[in-house]
Structures are given as structure tokens and as C-alpha cells.
Amino acid sequence: MSETTVRDAVFALLRDFGMTTIFGNPGSTELPMFKHFPDDFRYVLALQESIALGMADGFAQATRNAALVNLHSAVGTGHALGNLFTAWRNRSPVVVIAGQQARSILPYQPFLYAEQAPEFPKPYVKYSIEPARAEDVPGAIARAYYTAMQAPRGPVFVSVPIDDWDRPCEPVAARQVSRTVRGDPAMLAQLAEALAKAKRPVIVAGPEAARDNAWDETVALAEAHQAPVWASPMSSRNSFPEDHPLFAGFLVAGREPIVRDLAGHDFILVLGANVFTYHTEGFGPFVPDGAELWQLIDDPALAALAPVGTSIVGDIKDALDTFLGTAAPARPAPAPFPRAAAPHAAPLTDAYLLSRLAALRAPDSIIVEEAPSSRGPMHDHLPILKPDSFYTCASGGLGHGLPAAIGVALARPGEKVIALLGDGSTMYAVQGLWTAAQLGLPISFIVVNNGRYEALLNFCRHFGMNAVVGTDLPGIDFVGLAKAQGIPGVRIDSAEGLDEALATSLGASGPSLVEVIIA
Ligand SMILES: Cc1ncc(C[n+]2csc(CCOP(=O)(O)OP(=O)(O)O)c2C)c(N)n1
Ligand SMILES: [Mg+2]
């Protein structure tokens, strides 16, 4: 009989996959996994499971490798589901291992078990299983990892009964599995030809271009064709320098505004985005009259749902490399795009705060954003300048930004992370501050405190309502919440003192919080 246990085999695999950080919140059904916890692994404790998932999402995106999460049976998985949905929409490779009760007592509905465990996280997982036998667990985790890492990436789930960890099994060797899908060469050639014929091409760049590392190629293509570049609606990553003369702005997630902003172009090249991402109902055409749309996309599902245009499924960087060399016709430079005027200092607004943050932060510091009504002012006043330096959720689900900032900071040691959070958003995951304090991570938590769910009030107006219940948040002391968890903080309510507070926080080697009361 083999000397290897399921535990030995799984930890050996995780080591080979480079997954030596485990984000989790433990319960009885997980403890045996951690017997003889190896020295080269670290366990990052979250005080609620949605925070473990959010941290893993940020970590996976910033390391470009799968991140491991350990959850407590059905109850822990339940708490994590909102951020699991976000990881699914972010295309983040997150491997979730959830504990399950002992196989022999499962027929009796034991305390803290999971009923139909693999069904629970569906449809927001690419693969989900409770292996039929203990000895199948390492193979299931290997399959889960390869599946998570295959484009389009995404979360996977393995439920492991508590009594499996000590069972004997055969070791499972890590394998190489290719991850890049290449676009159809004949279609790429057609695209190059069509683009060369276009009179006024425009590019829409989105999160998949960032995930595929296509920053330099996108800049080169835009410059070669003198094509303005829009950020795709609700883009969860940055894919083009926002101070570049060809940067046009951010498409709004609505059918009519997209058609309006792209009007006048005869050729739309979408790089790694669903350009048909809508937040509100809209009608009419999908693209301006007479415009031809081509989409390069990693995700076959997004290619399939596009209502118009030609889609080529494959890696964006690889595709751009293939046809960047083809000659571009001489085209005049487009007119420069208008930039927002500098905001006033009084009364203190989010726009002013963001303009000061832009002035004071290092250009390569990383922004993780979850401040819904400040997103527009952020676009106007806080340009993102370097690749891989902006992260937000693609799902719209709050409670992701604060923990994701922690995951990003863990993944990028020595780099400053700025978590830009609404007051309401902060409260969905506020106990994440404790983990940031314990790890001493250099994160500036900037809380935009407007005392309410402003984004929902904006929606009220959209629906023709003047007011709505459940949107006021008076009386929350964010500095107090930070201090109680070991993070120094300061409250600012006017432009006076703002620069000093921001500079101190940005210069700190550990976490700090700046609560900014805005008008
Ligand atoms: C998990 C979740 N619950 C509720 C919402 C609905 N929602 C969208 S924006 C918003 C307000 C967020 O408030 P805050 O962070 O203070 O930002 P503000 O709108 O004030 O800029 C809410 C509650 C959501 N998107 N996700
Ligand atoms: Mg608010």
C-alpha cells in the first residue's frame, strides 16, 4: 500500500503549481487538511469567507496564477458566493477547496455538512466536484487547477470530506497544460486587410487585453493606425495609458451612449471586451450606422453572445503580434479629446480628492476601486498610467474592493496599493482591515464618505423617483473602525489638511486609512 496520503499528494501538487498561499476561514471540517502544515506555505486568515474569496481574486489577478481558497462546507461557501460570482466575472483563476463532513455520516445530515456540495456554487464555477473516492482528491485538484488556468480563466470548486486527508493514495505528478488559444490565422489576415482599408478606425480595449498582457501591442496598434482608444464599458482592468493623446475616454454601459460615442467611425476593433455590457435598458442599433465591428476575444461565450460583428476567439497579445507588422495606411491624427477642468477645493468633493490623489501618488502605484458614484470623477481626475495598476470588480457586486486590495498588495510586495472605497462599499467587508493590519501591508484605504448610497440615488433619478428608502448611512466612524482593528486613520472634511493626510498615508510602509467627508 502507498505511503503517500491524500494530504501529502495535494500539498506536493499545490507546491508545484506555485500555490503556497492559502486564503481561508477554517472550521472543523477543514482542520485535518492543515495537520503538519508545511513551513513553505502561508495561511492568510480572513474573518469572513467573502473576504477570503475577494483577497484570492486580487491575488490571482496580480500574480497571474491561480489562488487557493479554503472554505468551511456549505456555510463558508455560502458567505463567499457573492465574491465567487465576481471572480467568475473577473475571469480570476481561484481554486476553492471546501471542507465536507466525513463520508460515513453524510447519509444522516450531519452538523455543518454540505448537501449536494458541488451543485451549490454553480453556475459560477468552471468545474465543480466532490470526488467519488478519497484517492481521487489529488487528481480532482489537479484538474481543477488546469481548468481554472485555461482561457477564459475562472473559479473552480472541490469539496473534500474530512476523512479523506489521511487516506492513502498514489502521488499525482504536476503536468504542463498549454493555456493559450490562438486566433484563426485566416480570419486574422482578413481582419488586418479590413483594418487597413478602414478610413476612421476606433479601438475599444477591455479587461481581457489587460489579462493577456497586450498593453504595448495595443499602444503600437493605436499609434500605427491613428485610432482613438476607448475603455470598454465597466472595464475591470486598465488596458491603455489614460494620459495618451489617443485615449478617448470610457464607454458608458448603455446602448445609446455607446452608439453616440463611437459615431463617425467606419471600423470598430474591440480588443478583449464585451462591448455590449449594459447597466440599463436601451434600444436601437448596437453600433453606429455603417460601422463594421471586429472583436478579438479570449472567451468563446462572449464571442457567441455578440449581436453583431465578426469575432475571433484567441489570445489578444498573440493576435496583435500576428498582424501588427502589416502596413497601416497614413491617416491624420484625430482631434484631441477634451479633458475635465480642474475641480474646486471647496466644498470638498470626490473630484477634488481624486485630483489630489493623482498629484500625490506615485504613477506606478496600484488603484483598487469600489466607490460607485466616484467612478466618473475618478475617470476624469485620476488617470491610470501603467499596465496592471487598476483593478475593480466586473460583476458590480460590492464587498470585493477592500479584500481584493489586500490580495493585490500580497502579490506585489513593495508596491503601494490604494484602495479607493465608498463608505457603503467599505462596510461590506470592513473586517478585512484586520487582515491588512496583521500582514502590515502598504495599503492606503481611502474612504469616500458621502453618508449614503449615492449611486442608488442617481438611479432613483433615472427611474423618475426623487427619493428612496434604505440609502442613508449616517453615523459610521471609519477611523474608529480602522483603529479598532490596528490601522491608524485620520478624518478630513475640507481641502485643508487633505494633502498632508494623503501624503502621510501614501508614504507609510504599512496600512493606513483616510476618511474623507465630501459634500
Ligand atoms: C453586494 C451588493 N449589494 C448591493 C448593491 C447595490 N448597490 C450598488 S451601488 C450601492 C451604493 C454603494 O455605496 P457607496 O460605497 O457609499 O458608494 P456611493 O454610491 O455613495 O458612491 C449599492 C448599495 C451591489 N451593487 N452589490
Ligand atoms: Mg457613499
Query: In a structure prediction context, what are the per-residue pLDDT tens digits for the chain, which is 519 residues long?
Result: 568 999 999 999 999 999 999 999 999 999 999 999 999 999 999 999 999 999 999 999 999 999 999 999 999 999 999 999 999 999 999 999 999 999 999 999 999 999 999 999 999 999 999 999 999 999 999 999 999 999 999 999 999 999 999 999 999 999 999 998 999 999 999 999 999 999 999 999 999 999 999 999 999 999 999 999 999 999 999 999 999 999 999 999 999 999 999 999 999 999 999 999 999 999 999 999 999 999 999 999 999 999 999 999 999 999 999 887 778 899 999 999 999 999 999 999 999 999 999 999 999 999 999 999 999 999 999 999 999 999 999 999 999 999 999 999 999 999 999 999 999 999 999 999 999 999 999 999 999 999 999 999 998 988 999 889 999 999 999 999 999 999 999 999 999 999 999 999 999 999 999 999 998
Chain CA centroid to CA 106, Å: 36
Residue 399 Cα, ligand 1 centroid: separation in angstroms?
A: 9
Q: Which ligand is nearest to the CA of 517?
A: 2
The rounded distance, in Å, linking the Cα atoms of 267 and 258 is 14
373 in ligand 1 pocket by Cβ < 6 Å? yes
Strand order in the sheet with 489-492: 390-391, 366-370, 417-422, 443-449, 512-517, 489-492
The rounded distance, in Å, linking the Cα atoms of 204 and 229 is 6
Q: Whose CA is nearest to atom 17 of ligand 1?
A: 422
Q: Which ligand 1 atom minimizes the distance to the CA of 425?
A: 15
Would you state the pLDDT for residue 461? 87
Chain CA centroid to CA 328, Å: 34
If one residue of 456, 459, 468 were mutated to test the ligand 1 pocket, choosing by the most ligand atoms within 8 A of its CB, it would be 456
Residue 373 Cα, ligand 1 centroid: separation in angstroms?
A: 9
Cite the beta strand spans of 290-427 per DSSP E: 292-297, 310-313, 366-370, 390-391, 417-422
Burial class (CB in 10 A: 0-12, 13-18, 19+), 465: exposed
424 in ligand 1 pocket by Cβ < 6 Å? yes
Which three three-digit cell numbers place residue 57? 481574486
Q: Which ligand is nearest to the CA of 234?
A: 1
Would you state the pLDDT for residue 2? 67
334 in ligand 1 pocket by Cβ < 6 Å? no
The rounded distance, in Å, linking the Cα atoms of 157 and 155 is 7
Residue 243 Cα, ligand 2 centroid: separation in angstroms?
A: 28
Q: Which ligand is nearest to the CA of 402?
A: 1
